[in-house]
Structure formats: C-alpha cells, structure tokens
Structure 1
Amino acid sequence: MIYKTIDLCAGIGGIRRGFEMTGSFQNVRSAEIDESAAKTYKHLFGDDALNDLTSEEFKTELDSTEYDVLLAGFPCQAFSRAGKQLGFRDTTRGTIFFDIADIISRTKPRAIFLENVDNLISHDHGNTINTIVKTLEDELDYRVIGVSLDENGNYQYDRSSFVRNSKNFGVPQNRARAYIMAFSKKKYGNAIKLLTEQLPTESTEVVFEDVNAILETEVDDKYYMAEGYLETLKRHKIREHEKGHGFGYCVVNQEGGEHPIANTILATGGSGKERNLIYQPKEGIAGKVIPRKKTRLNSEGIRVMTPMEWGRLQGFIGYGFLDADESETFSFPEGTNDAQKYKQLGNSVSIPVIKTMADFMLNCFDILEQQQEEIVKALAYHNVYFTKKDVMENMGINAVQASAILKKLIEQQVIRRISHGVSTRYVNANREDDLPPFSQEEKVLEYAKENDSFSNKDIVELLQITVGSGNVLLSTMVKKGLLIRIKRGWYSAKV
C-alpha cells in the first residue's frame, strides 16, 4: 500500500525524502515559507512548496486533500499559560503548532510525524512538550509513541521518549533531535494498544563511518581560514576554558578519536562552522591572500567544512538522492550561494534517521491493519454471521472505517456478504450454507440498530406492507419487549 503524505515546514524536503526512500510513501502537498528553501525544494522534487500553512486558503485546500500522514519539522515556540484555557486553540494560538494542530483536527490523518530541536523537551520548563502531548492525546485523539499513562491517569514520558541522535543512525554527526510519532485512535481503535512503547534508538546501516569518510579531497582555497580569524578563535577558546566553559573551535578530524564525528551543524551556517574545523594541509595555501579574507590564509592547514560535506553529514549527498545506479542526483539550484547552502542544510534533518522512523511507521501500520483484519476474521470464524455494527463495537472504530476493512476482506475472499433488505450480514467465505431470510421482526430490529428512532411510515416502506399491518407489527413488538414507544407513532430499539 502507498500512503500519502503532506510535508509542512518542509525546508528542502529531508523528512519527505526519508519517507519516500521506503517506497511506501508518496507526497501530495507541501508548505515552506522561506523562498530560498522552497526554491531548492522545487529543484529537488519538482513541486511548488512556497505555501503558508497558517493561511486559511492553504488549510481549505488541505480539507479536500486525501492523505494519510502529516509530516512537519516545526519550530520550537512557547505556548500561553495565561488565564483559563479551553483547549489547544487558546493555549497554542500564535504558534506554528497551533496551525498544525488545526490542520490535524480538520483533516484527521492516520498518523503524524513531527521533528524539532532536542530542547523542545525542556523548553519553557517542560510546558511546551506537555502541551503538545496533551493536545495530541486528549484533544485530537492520537496515541503518541513513547507516552504512557500511570495509575492516576497522568502522562508519563521523558527525554528518552523522543530524543534520538544522528550519530546512532549511520552518520558521523552528534545531532540530537526530538521526534514525535502518533497514530489515530479513531482510525485504529483498540488495535492501537498493540504498538510498541518506544521509537527506534539506532540503525544498523552505516552511511559514513566517520568524519574522514565525508571529506572532499580537494577544496577551494576560500574554505581555508584566515590567519587572523584562527588566532582570534584560539584566544577565545582559551578564555572560555578559563571560565570553565566548553565553547571553542574544534578540529574534528584531529580531536575526534579513532572514528571522529562532527558536532551539530547549525542553521546559522557561518556562525557555527568553527565547531567543525578540518585539518587538511594544502600545498601553496599558507600565507596566500584571497578576496574577502582580512588576513592571509593560515599556515596550519585548517579549513571549514564545505556545503557538500555538510550535505553528507545530513545524508542528502551520498545517500538520500542516489539513483538506481548509485549516481548522485542531489544539487542546489544554480546561483545558490554558500551561505544559503549552509543555512538550508543546517536547518534540515538527517535523512538516515528519518528513513528509520519511516520504516518504523510502516511496521506500525502493518500491526494496526493486520490486527483489525484478524478481529474480523475471528468474527467470521466464531460466529454464524456478523454485522458491520459488530465490527465497530469489537474494534472501537466508526462505520466508514469498518466498511473499508470489510470491503478489503471481501476482495481477498476471506468473508462474503449476505444481503437481506436493509441489513447486510457477513459470513466466513468458506461457509457453504446460506442464512435463512430475515423475518419481519428481524428486519425491524436490524433497522432499529441503525436508526435512533423511526415511525410506522418507515416500517411500511421498509417491508412494503400496509399501514394497518405496520401498526399491528410494531404494537406486537412493543408488547414482546423488543421495542419501546418513545412518543405517539415513534419507536426505538429497547435499550
């Protein structure tokens, strides 16, 4: 089965790409407000992502969009604590999460996948993540993976419930991020209790073993640091260490041990590059003067990472966009400057982590949908016949969802349908005998199950009998205790 996704706060499409790599997800709508990122997104996927997810126009478009999974790498913003709050529409108003929750409320996807910085968990003294969990669980009716209830009905979770590090998923980057995955309780009913309590913590797939594996052999001179700036960084590092702080530049392929890993790359780009310096001597570089450098290039062979190397750290290059013959297809639009490349990659996700999460979601879907089918198969095996209402009650789902499961099992020839007027019953497809026709009373009782109240006129039309015969039949059923008369001429099933 192919599940359809919408990609919100899409950036340059890292989350989308991780899901697409499974072969089981197809994106149908995207939204990204940053023009440069949206330009790269269109360059990579061919889709126009320049949409404002907070606009009513875009939300209205989503109202009529058929999709299964909402994806969003949303920003971390504080929620309101003021006054008597009536729900997420009051608590989260003015934040991107408010609009995401509004879209979820309106479109009701099967599942949700959200990504954020790891500080989301401690942000605003825990109020932010608490609001998100309660909104998803209580107001939107989704089961959040990693969240459980204690004996007093309080939600239980901690940092380990959501935070995962890219270094454990095959790329040499110490990048901790929060991931939130949730499944619709309305869609999957009681089967949702079978899901695991924990997101994946690691992957066995190694994309790049260490920093050395992502380095370019030849880089432009502009990436080598000016002597004056390098000296400034050294002095700053000494001052910070004297204060007991850990800040300072880091030459990762010298200081990283046997298999060095990079520090987190940042969306700020230029201001964070000194955290991942590279030792790579180059002949003729020492003392060279190049445009835009205030002093000569350093003699120690120290440079910053290139955008291509950042692309590898995030799994965009060398992993996420390889075609069938392993050829690289990732690129930026022509004319994109380095500052934008650093910003867009630093603001994105590690695709190998997302791919692992997408595989996990697929496994959850298999569990949920197979379990639903098994319940129906059990009904077919243990009962002479069963109805759609039986399926709804056993699984805790609505009529539309029950109909979809029954239709699928009929197509698979697991069950077959036996129609008797207003009511449809189902039996095991292997049963050779059919059920006897319903009596008039049985037809009325089946009708009563599907309608809160009805009149003699309804029964006359249902059974194609006279008004007098209808009155006699209904009066008899009331006397037998099968129906109750709720007002003159109107009846209901006996509760």
Structure 2
Amino acid sequence: MLYRFIDLFAGIGGIRTAFEPYGECVFSCEWDVKAQETYEANFGHKPVGDIRTVNEKEIPDHDILLAGFPCQPFSIAGVSKKKSLGRKHGFLDETQGTLFFDIARIIKEKQPQAFLLENVKNLRSHDKGNTFKVIKKVLEDLGYTVYSEVINARGLVPQNRERIYIVGFKKPLKFEFPIIPKEGPPLHTILEENVEEKYTLSDKLWNYLQAYKEKHAKKGNGFGYGLADLNSYSRTLSARYYKDGSEILIPQGEGKNPRKLTPRECARLQGFPDSFKIVVSNTAAYKQFGNSVAVPVVSLIAERVVQAIERDELLEEKLEEGRTCDKIIRSV
C-alpha cells in the first residue's frame, strides 16, 4: 500500500527522502528561501512558505504527517489561572504563539493515521521538562498513542548526533523504534578523494583556533576546535559549520593545516545519496545540512511506522504515563 504524507518544516527534504519509498508527498512547507531552492531542485516542486499562513482545511488529506519542527518555549503554568478566571484553555491556548501549535491544528483538522516529529535532544529538558510535557499532552488529547525516543545516528553515519523522534498513531498500535548499531562506518568513508585547496584553513584561522582552544584549556574549559579521528566518528554537524568549520576539522598530515568538510561530505555525513543535488552556495549548503536529519535513522523509523500501520496490532494494556511510551538511548 502507498501512503499519502505531508512534509512540514521540511528543510531540504531529509525526512521526505526517508518516506518516499512508501508513498507520495502531497504537501510541503518550508519558510527558508534557500532551503526551498534545494528542495525544489531535488523533488520538483517548491514548498509553501510560512506555515502560520496556511489554512489547515486546505491541506490535502494524508495518512502520515512529518515535521522536523523548531523548539520554542511554552508552558502550561497559566492553565490554572485561566480556569479560575473562567477562560478557555486547551491545546489551542497552551501552544498559541509557537510553531508546534501549527502542527497541532493540522493534526486536529486532518486526523492522519500517524505522524513523525523530530527535534533536538534537549527538547526533553527544555523549560524544566514543561515544553515536552505540553507536547505529549497535546498529542494525547488529540487522540493519539505516542512513542518517543532519543536516538544517536552514529551507528549509521560517522557522526555523533542525538535527536528526539516522536511517533504517534490514531489507533493504539504497537510500535517499537528500531535498534541502531552502536558502531557505524568510520569518518574516512564519506570523504572525497580530491578536495580543493579552498577548504584548507588559512594560517591565520588555524592559529586563531589553536590559541582559542589553548586559552580555554588553561581555564579548564573544553571549548575549541575538533580535529576528527578519521577511523571513528565526528562531532555533531551544526548549522554554524559555515563560519569556520571548527567542530569537525579533517587532518591532512604533517606540515599542512586541517581542512573543513566539503558540502558534499556534509551531505554524506547526514546520509544523503550522492544523487542529491546541491544547488546553493557553500554557506547556504552548510547551514542546510547542519539543520537536516540523519536520513538513515529516519529511514529505519519510517519502515517501522509503516509496518505498525500494516500489522494493525493493538496495545492490550494502557501505556504508563497516560498513553505515552518514552525511552532514551544514551551515548556510550
């Protein structure tokens, strides 16, 4: 069976790439203009812009909602006060003004069979846990059985990258997240053979980064550049990589300064195929891949989501903590 899905906060389409084997994307939304360019070059259509202006009633019907949404602060602290004043409260009020609100209103209107949301690991602890508490409550109040897990991608790509994945089903379906290997491919497997000299750090920048690290080391801080072990995995690729590449530097042997990853290597580090088109400037590409998901992780989750829908096995008992199942895979 093929499934209709929508791609919200789509970025450059990493989550979509993972779900494409299972169906058709019928709607996408992404506000960043440069990301829209990359998305259109690879998928043949330009995403809608600001999700806040999208009428949920006009979104096509779909089976699965996908969203790599930004984390914004909100709290349920004001609910009791609103009750005392006789004012309405609920998911619309609790999340108003946040981008998660837009996901909630679309889910409420379209009632997809399932959803997958992705965010930074720290979503769990943000605002002393209140942010995640609201998110779970909202999704459960909308009638969904919710599972969440923090997964490290480094067993599939050579990068230490922890993200939280939230899966929900309209039916109380049995679901288990995939087991990710602890050890994955080494960093040297994603490197290009011939790299232009422009990616090598200048003497000025390299001297600055070394001095900066030394200064903080004397204070007992771990700030500074990261010289990667080519036989292991890298630090987390971030959207700021375009600035100086300091979190992941590639050694080039004695007498030569280290270099930055190329945009294509960043794409590989996130698990994108080499057929994925990079049509923007290096600066924009670094930001886009730094903000993206690790595609192989989402691919395994996508497979499990589809399997759960097709098996249609219902939970026999209520899950602990309402209808939510949480699990954390910690770094080792």
Identify the TM-score tier after normalising by the shorter chain. Answer: 0.7 to 0.9
Q: Does the aligned pair in 1 maintain the 2:227–2:251 contact within 8 Å?
A: yes
Aligned position for 1:52? 50
CA RMSD of aligned residues (A): 2.0
Aligned position for 2:249? 277
Q: Secondary structure, in 3 states, of the residue corresponding to 2:246?
A: helix
Within a 5 Å distance, the mapping from 1:414-493 to structure 2 comes to none
- Aligned partner (choices 168, 177, 190) of residue 182 of structure 1: 168
Q: Does the aligned pair in 1 maintain the 2:159–2:269 contact within 8 Å?
A: yes
1:163 maps onto 2:119 in alignment: no
How far does residue 237 in structure 1 lie from its aligned partner after superposition?
0.9
Aligned position for 1:14? 14
Q: Secondary structure, in 3 states, of the residue corresponding to 2:247?
A: helix
Letter in 1 for 2:36: A
CA distance in 1, matches of 2:97, 2:181: 37
- Aligned partner (choices 249, 256, 270) of residue 300 of structure 1: 256
Is the radius of gyration larger for structure 1 or structure 2? Answer: 1
1:229 maps onto 2:197 in alignment: no
Aligned position for 1:195? 174
Aligned position for 2:26? 28
The number of equivalent residue pairs is 307
Query: Closer, same or farther in 2 for the Cα pair 1:114/1:231, shift >3 Å?
Result: same
Q: Deviations over 1:266-294 (max 9, x none)?
A: 11232362111011249xxxxxxxxxxxx
CA distance in 2, matches of 1:201, 1:73: 21
Aligned position for 1:61? 58
Q: Does the aligned pair in 2 maintain the 1:164–1:201 contact within 8 Å?
A: no
- Aligned partner (choices 30, 37, 40) of residue 39 of structure 1: 37
Q: Secondary structure, in 3 states, of the residue corresponding to 1:262?
A: coil
CA distance in 1, matches of 2:244, 2:72: 22
CA distance in 1, matches of 2:217, 2:45: 48
Q: Does the aligned pair in 2 maintain the 1:10–1:72 contact within 8 Å?
A: yes
The percent identity for this pair of structures is: 40
**More helix as a share of residues:** 1
Q: Secondary structure, in 3 states, of the residue corresponding to 1:27?
A: strand
1:311 maps onto 2:309 in alignment: no
CA distance in 2, matches of 1:60, 1:281: 58
Q: Does the aligned pair in 2 maintain the 1:54–1:99 contact within 8 Å?
A: yes
CA distance in 1, matches of 2:5, 2:208: 47
Q: Deviations over 1:334-366 (max 9, x none)?
A: xx2100010111111110001000011012112
Aligned position for 2:108? 105
Q: Which runs of 5+ in 2 are unaligned?
A: 83-87, 316-332
CA distance in 2, matches of 1:203, 1:102: 36
Query: Greater relative contact order: 1 or 2 (C-alpha under 8 angstroms, separation 6 or more)?
Result: 2
Letter in 2 for 1:195: K
Letter in 1 for 2:100: F
Q: Does the aligned pair in 2 maintain the 1:265–1:272 contact within 8 Å?
A: no
CA distance in 2, matches of 1:314, 1:330: 12
Q: Which runs of 5+ in 1 are unaligned?
A: 147-161, 283-298, 318-327, 373-495
Q: Secondary structure, in 3 states, of the residue corresponding to 2:4?
A: strand
Query: Closer, same or farther in 2 for the Cα pair 1:201/1:122, shift >3 Å?
Result: farther
